[in-house]
Amino acid sequence: MSTNGMESWALDLKDVGAIYPFQGSEVVMVIIGLVFWIGWHVLQTRHESAEIEADMAADRTGEETRKAIDRH
Amino acid sequence: MEGNLNALTTIFTEFYYWVTIVMMFLIHVGFCMYEVGVSRRRNHLKTLMKNAMAIPLVTITFYFFGWWIYFGFPNGPGITGGLVTAPFAEPWNPLMGTHLSGVNPGETGVTPTDAALWHRLNGVFWGAFLLFSITTASIISGSIIERVRSGAFWIVAVLVGSVLWILDASWGWHPQGWMVKLWGYHDAYASGVVHAIAGGAALAFLIVLGPRIGKFRADGTARDIPPHNVWLVTIGLFLIFTGFWGFYAACNIPLISPATIAGQITGETWTATNIYLAPTTLSAITFNFLMSLSGGMLAGYIVSKGDPFWTFSMGLCGVISTSAGNDLYHPIQALLIGAIVPTICYKLHYFVERRFKIDDAVGAVAVHGYGGFLGVVVAGFMLWGQPSSPYEGFAHINPLGNFAGAVLMFVLGFAPTFVVCKILNSMNLLRVPAKVELEGVDFALNHAFEASVREVGAAEKAMIK
């Protein structure tokens, strides 16, 4: 038994198609991949909003901002 | 023997595209250096990551749907035919993975013909097109630095990189694309399909986003915001030039027989072709790439009075402005077009900045948008009457077809990006607040960095005896 159905290379390569593991689950893998992609954007947006909120509360005197501007 | 020749051709083609992918990665190294060099110190890290993260995001979405769009939409659909089936480009197809050319028992969606052709070429073709996709998205990135929310850019990067550009490529940069068939559209090295569409998208983004704080004086005139490191900017552009060799080579098919083209070419002479399967050579594009680059740099040096940023940028614009026809131009034609068009683009950049208060931090709209647009238009005149394709019944290259094509490319980038940016803006997801822009978008990261430096420094000093 193997995860791609192959247990030996003693064969003619023209008869071999896909060799990745768990063939037949491609649609499920695509769905998982799409969820990963959309989920990433959701998480990233939340993180960015939280960071901006923290930045808004920081440097009340503007001193650090002035220094940063001077550094160009 | 014939079988071995076919195998050698396939493996050579596979290796050829693989090399172009590696070379094109340099474009993105260059883009990152260039953008970071232009940005001010308080914005470096976010600027770097904004550009860099377009690579994985466009990669995964180009896998999920971009590649399929290219093969599915050459007819419009609804203009010269319907949706074209392309099972080998569907993300769930076994040919979108490690495959050895046969068909396993129970393997669905793979025909022996598709397997024989695509088992070695699918990944490298996909990769080469993907690098065009990432380039198209990255072009926008530099123009919007220092005030954009990275998340907004990444959404637009997916839109432009994995949907819009590949749709226009399917229409105008495909051997059977409807723009090629009906309009005689010719854009061999992507002046329009990559650069004009990216420039159009960047312009739309900039209009909705607005300028950086301090860019314009109270009387409306523009201030210069100098790059913090001109050296880094120019090295970045040098790397983009280097990567463009891969870009150009990837626009060709390296070796193909007339029988495989199955068009009107007679005889048995094998050839390289452009994307339309019309014959060309690597020598032709080497002549013209270098001459157009030279034209742009020479003109840029004079027009900008030796400014490094614009001299290098106009060199790139020289290449972009001749790319539509660089398979067919004479090198001196490429030199002259590559000098004249960037000069117009340089003037346009400052005119648009002054007149419409557009703050394009890197001149991307000018270099890519106007340069690409004008490059397609010029090719329509220069190549007027020449065949656009080796197939019978296709319109010949003509000024009207290329002009309409250039407009379509620019608008296809502009309109959807404008709508998406408006939506993001209405949700407060497009631009950072003014306070954060002044602090610098790296404020939190810099704070964490400085706190770590202080803490570890204090711990180390405590160990000194």
Per-residue pLDDT of chain B (465 residues; tens, 9 = 90+): 457 888 899 999 999 999 999 999 999 999 999 999 999 999 999 999 999 999 999 999 999 999 999 999 999 999 999 999 999 999 999 999 999 988 988 888 889 889 988 999 999 999 999 999 999 999 999 999 999 999 999 999 999 999 999 999 999 999 999 999 999 999 999 999 999 999 999 999 999 999 999 999 999 999 999 999 999 999 999 999 999 999 999 999 999 999 999 999 999 999 999 999 999 999 999 999 999 999 999 999 999 999 999 999 999 999 999 999 999 999 999 999 999 999 999 999 999 999 999 999 999 999 999 999 999 999 999 999 999 999 999 999 999 999 999 999 999 999 999 999 999 999 999 999 999 999 999 999 988 898 999 999 999 999 998
B59 contacts: CB under 8 Å, gap ≥ 6? B130, B134
ipTM of the complex: 0.95
Would you give the DSSP letter of residue A23?
T
B268 contacts: CB under 8 Å, gap ≥ 6? B257, B258, B259
Angle at Cα B28 formed by Cα B86 and Cα B445, nearest 5°?
Answer: 120
Quick check: is A4 in a domain?
A: no
Q: How many CB atoms lie within 10 A of CB A38?
A: 10
Range of the domain at B413: 2-442
Closest CA of chain B from A6, distance in Å: 11
Quick check: is A57 in a domain?
A: yes
Tokens standing for B145? 């630095």
- Report yes or no: B73 and B170 within 8 Å, Cβ to Cβ: yes
Quick check: is A20 in a domain?
A: no
Write down the pTM of the prediction.
0.96
Quick check: is A1 in a domain?
A: no
Quick check: is B461 in a domain?
A: no
Range of the domain at A49: 25-71
As for how many domains chain B has, the answer is 1
Quick check: is B380 in a domain?
A: yes
Instruction: In whole angstroms, give the CA distance from residue B76 to residue B72.
Output: 9
Q: Where are the beta strands (DSSP E) in A1-72?
A: none
Residue of A40, A43, A59, A65 for testing the chain B interface, max B β-carbons within 10 Å: A65
Quick check: is B454 in a domain?
A: no
Q: Where are the alpha helices (DSSP H) in B82-229?
A: 112-143, 150-159, 165-172, 178-183, 197-209
Quick check: is B145 in a domain?
A: yes
Quick check: is B195 in a domain?
A: yes
Q: Is B216 helix (H, G, I), strand (E, B) or coil?
A: strand
Are A55 and B92 an interchain contact pair (Cβ–Cβ within 8 Å)? Answer: no
Number of Cα atoms under 13 Å in the Cβ half of residue B27: 24
As for how many domains chain A has, the answer is 1
Would you give the DSSP letter of residue B164?
I
Closest CA of chain A from B83, distance in Å: 21
Are A18 and B97 an interchain contact pair (Cβ–Cβ within 8 Å)? Answer: yes
Chain A residues close to B450, C-beta within 8 Å:
none
First to last CA, chain A: 63
Quick check: is A46 in a domain?
A: yes
- Report yes or no: B249 and B15 within 8 Å, Cβ to Cβ: no
Chain A residues close to B101, C-beta within 8 Å:
13-14, 16-17
Quick check: is B231 in a domain?
A: yes
Quick check: is B308 in a domain?
A: yes
> Which CATH number is B224's domain given?
1.10.3430.10
**Phi, psi dihedrals of residue B216, rounded to the nearest 5°:** -115, 140
Quick check: is A49 in a domain?
A: yes
Instruction: In whole angstroms, give the CA distance from residue B183 to residue B349.
Output: 30
Quick check: is A48 in a domain?
A: yes
Tokens standing for B306? 């030796």
- Report yes or no: B424 and B430 within 8 Å, Cβ to Cβ: yes
Quick check: is B390 in a domain?
A: yes
